[in-house]
Structure 1
């Protein structure tokens, strides 16, 4: 167990000078230091004290879609396979553009599955900004799900112009102050309709003593709700800490049933856990002795892991070559898909067809041609595939043009310039 640093991201828009609330907790749970600074300032001022800290990020609930669905299977693999199809019916975005996170443990007594949805672009922007300033989080939690929770209780936490509502272990949302009465009314009505054994929940309204405006708003809302819901148990709470500190403390040390968004391709391996597993493996080997089968298994595992690491490294290297200005490569596959979507290429079957036909002719070419493709560009507006090719002579360029034409493509050589011992040509290919 080590010290913990909790950072709270203010909103979904990443800015260079974005200021974050931060809290440094000791292993024993004592708050050692806190403040509100940009990441650059925090890293410069606290570099020595936070070097070995575990980092937890509190992200704004406004960037997430929290909901639940029903999946009969309790097998984690099957749940993960079925979940995208269930989520796709509930969201407006393409399911391939979002990241879906579920609780670490599923309730074996029900088919109910809670989940959180966030855009890959937003999540990658956050992680890129954090990593570029030296912060590598192991957990990313949703701030509204860090409000202290009790069963059959609806908690409304007033924070400035917004109100956080939490009514379940993984059920929460954030609304404007002006909309909280409507949100509470709909929530109570929905709970009553969905549960024939519904018991009226306790309603808690909370604020911090550090904000007189928030406390006054809680008093006003409490008075309204006591009139509207006279038969409900309604209480108000005033925290002595700031609300950011209340949420950070809950995030740091109440890990029961938490929903860590950093899972799947965003998961961070724990070096401590790895060390413990290696120690246990070594102890087992010492107890039962070495055998030929175990040696072969370990050797095979090491080889396969090495191959996997090489492939991962090649993917990162290729991504950096294609996008040299990218500051942090978190998930090459997801970031590549994001770039392709932004550039309008993804889903363009015309581009893929042209690329496939052109590549087939280049691969079928005899070795005497010795062609080298240096650049590739697709113009989606007119369906042109342009590429720059280096050859030994103009005759070779002409032969390439004829081959592509015979494959059913319309081909133009826009330019051909002789340079030293080769010819640099620019070729445009389009479907007939």
Structure 2
């Protein structure tokens, strides 16, 4: 598991910011500390690289509510939720972001846990992080990361000398100050506190249960906790940034891909065309063989051997092997994509195969002529004419002597 960076911010950008780097696999704190305020957040940029970042918000800025629903939670209720809670908040509902927690049912009643936070305030913190290249994948509420308490009791941990957090139920939490903490605990009917650090206040009429074996830094406890609420949802959902070089080179990459697709399409069409031409020539050779030697079964891959044997059996082994010539010519044309056969004529008197063809250029005729000569044929090239787009001409092919 990767190391994680937790950043605990205050209500105001001017307040100190606490941070901690934690290795979950080793259950080890790599480092922790405090920076002066939001203007110094860039001091954590290097620590954020290659680590999963979590932004922890103060519960004083987040309102937790459990809403009674008319039916089980569904998408339509999500659209109606702002109207259902509008009378329960003292500010314009449109200024608040509604984060969805767990939906649950008890007997025949249905409920949804929600958290309300000021949109501009939350966006401001995310913008500050973004400006210094810190990208939190999760945003949690600090008090909800405390251990869930038992009935009529609360979990508590000190944040500083003048405030501490309490969690009193699955979806109830608060950040308290010493001068009014007692009154709040009495009003919330909290009779006992499970302490995970010393408190900055003496409390009367409240049972204090100290868990000294579990005393640790608040952020260390937060790092190990699992929260049912991640505020990175809806309009604040985390979107991974694409690499800078991808943005720079995206137009060039797109153009290159389009060019490659076009080239492969053209080559594919050419391959199909010339394959069809080669098959047509092979069909002509087979047809000529069958007419010359009726009743013979033709095997295309053994055609050359069949022709030599047939000519030997008929006493024509010294004659021009015109069928073999056609086979050789078919093989060579298949290799030359720029050479297209238009006419084929065999001059029996002169034992000569005359080929009328069209090619891309003069070099294409020269290549076919050279390849035929390499196979032992005598080749004469007739006049070649350039009609503007291609070259038209004739080859006269004689068998090897």
- 2-structure distance, mates of 1:31, 1:76: 41
State whether structure 2 residue 2 is matched by structure 1 residue 2. Answer: yes
In structure 2, the partner of 1:37 is 35
User: 2:223 is matched with which residue?
Assistant: 252
Contact conserved, 2:8 with 2:56, CA < 8 A, in 1? yes
Give, in angstroms, the shift of residue 43 of structure 1.
4.4
Question: Match for residue 238 of structure 2?
Answer: 268
TM alignment of 1:150-299, pairs within 5 A: 150-152=149-151, 153-159=153-159, 160-188=161-189, 203-206=192-195, 208=197, 214=199, 217=201, 220-221=202-203, 224-225=204-205, 234-238=208-212, 245-246=217-218, 248-255=219-226, 257-269=227-239
Shift of 1:41: 5.5
Normalised TM-score (structure 1):
0.49
SS at match of 1:262: coil
Residue number among 75, 80, 83 corresponding to 2:81 in the alignment:
83
Aligned-residue CA RMSD (Å): 2.7
Residue 172 of structure 1, CA deviation:
0.6
Determine the C-alpha separation between the residues in 2 that align with 1:54 and 1:134: 13
Q: Which residue of 1 aligns with 2:251?
A: none
CA, structure 1 residues 116+60, in 2 after alignment: closer, same or farther (shift >3 Å)? same
- 1:241, CA displacement in angstroms? 5.1
Report the secondary structure of 1:164's partner residue: strand
- Structure 1 residues 169 and 55, CA, compared in 2 at 3 Å: closer, same or farther? same
Displacement after TM superposition at 1:132 (Å): 0.8
Larger Cα-atom Rg: 2
Residues 86 and 93, structure 2, Cα contact 8 Å, conserved in 1:
yes
**Cα distance, 1:42 vs structure 2:** 6.2
1:24 to 9, 21, 34: 21
Cα distance, 1:240 vs. partner? 6.9
Q: CA deviation at 1:100?
A: 0.8
- TM-aligned CA distance change 1:32 to 1:254, over 3 Å: same
CA distance in 1: counterparts of 2:58 and 2:116, whole angstroms: 13
The 1:207–1:270 alpha-carbon spacing in structure 2 relative to 1, beyond 3 Å, is: same
Equivalent position SS for 1:117: strand
Structure 2 vs 1, CA of residues 27 and 43 (structure 1 numbering), >3 Å: closer, same or farther? farther
Residue of structure 2 aligned with 1:61, choices 59, 62, 84: 59
Q: Taking structure 1 as reference, are residues 241 and 270 closer, same or farther at Cα in structure 2, changes over 3 Å only?
A: farther
CA offsets per residue over residues 325-354 of structure 1, 9 Å max, x none? xxxxxxxxxxxxxxxxxxxxxxxxxxxxxx
Query: In structure 2, what is the Cα distance between the partners aligned to 1:106 and 1:174?
Result: 25
CA distance in 2, matches of 1:67, 1:74: 17
SS in 2 for 1:87: helix
| 2:277 counterpart residue number | none
Counterpart CA distance in 2 for 1:235 and 1:27 is 28
Contact 2:196 2:211 in 1 (8 A): yes
Higher relative contact order (CA 8 A, sep 6+): 1
The residue that corresponds to 2:297 in the other structure is none
Work out whether residues 66 and 173 of structure 1, in 8 Å CA contact, stay in contact via their aligned partners in 2. no
How far apart are 1:168 and its partner, in Å? 1.4
Distance in 2, Cα, partners of 1:239 & 1:97: 43
- Aligned mates of 1:46, 1:163 — CA distance in 2: 28
Within 5 Å, give how 1:322-341 maps onto structure 2. Answer: none
Question: TM-score, normalising length from structure 2?
Answer: 0.53
CA positional deviation for 1:107: 2.2
1:201-224 per-position Cα deviation (integer Å, ceiling 9, x unaligned)? 761252636xxxx45x2xx31xx2
In 2: Cα distance, 1:149 partner to 1:86 partner:
28
Distance in 2 (CA, whole Å) between partners of 1:41 and 1:241 is 29
